[in-house]
Structures are given as C-alpha cells and as structure tokens.
Amino acid sequence: MTASITYKGNLRCEATHLQSSSVIGTDAPTDNRGKGERFSPTDMLCVSLATCMLTTMGIKANDMNLDISHSKADVTKHMASDPRRVAKIEVTVSLPKNINEKDRIILERIGNNCPVAKSVHPDIELALIYNWSR
C-alpha cells in the first residue's frame, strides 16, 4: 500500500504517505462547495504531472552530469463541465539556459513521457512548454 486517506469532513481529506509518514491535505475548490484552502484533488492531478516531469528530467540530467537544480514548473488547470473534469493542463517548465540543444531535446522527451503524462487520460489536453532561459 502507498498511502492511507482519511475523509476529515467539510470536504477535506488527509493523505498519509506510508513510507515517510508525510501528510498532504486536500480541500474542495471554492467553485465546488469547498473553502479552497488547500490543493483540490484535481489540483493534485496537475501538480503530479509537473512534479513527475521535473523528477524524471532530474534523474536523466543526473545521468548526463547536468545540473537542473532550481528549475521550476508553473501549472494551470482548465476545468470543463458536464461532466465536471479536468479538460486541459498547461505546464511551463523553466530550465537553465546553459544546456545545449541536443541535451534539451533529450530532457524534453523525458518530461513529455514521464509516467504521469503517460497515465493521464487522452481526453485531457496537455500543453507542455519548455523555457530554457532560467
């Protein structure tokens, strides 16, 4: 088992990672009866994509003796209704400008094919942008 999730009431959950005991709380968004005081479950989907991209790119960068520390990703979630779902996820990844073109292509390919990106339903549009000017 990976995690244990408890419904805390008031549209909030608490997820405990069993290996590390770290905890993440979620809240329903304000447009769906929540207080919006924490990440919503759909926010976590989008955050999972961005962190997976950075993590897998970091693994590959380490293998290539490249330092992409302090790279960042900005995420925008677009919701649809009927049914209510995530329709589009935009991720803009900002990376160091001192990486050569060949290595950029390799790292972008890794980001585009991270496990979460490959797990997202094909009906969800992914707009993955790489900014090499950090």
pLDDT in tens, 36-61: 999 999 999 999 999 999 999 999 99
Quickly tell me which residue has 């991720």 as its tokens: 91
Beta bridge partners of 77: 89
For the domain covering 41-131, report its CATH number: 3.30.300.20
**CA 14, CA 40: separation in Å to the nearest integer?**
11
Mean pLDDT for 22-28 is 98
Residue spans per domain, the chain: 3-32, 41-131
Cis link prior to 83 (omega < 30° from 0)?
Answer: yes
Give the pTM.
0.95
Predicted confidence at residue 134, as pLDDT, reads 78
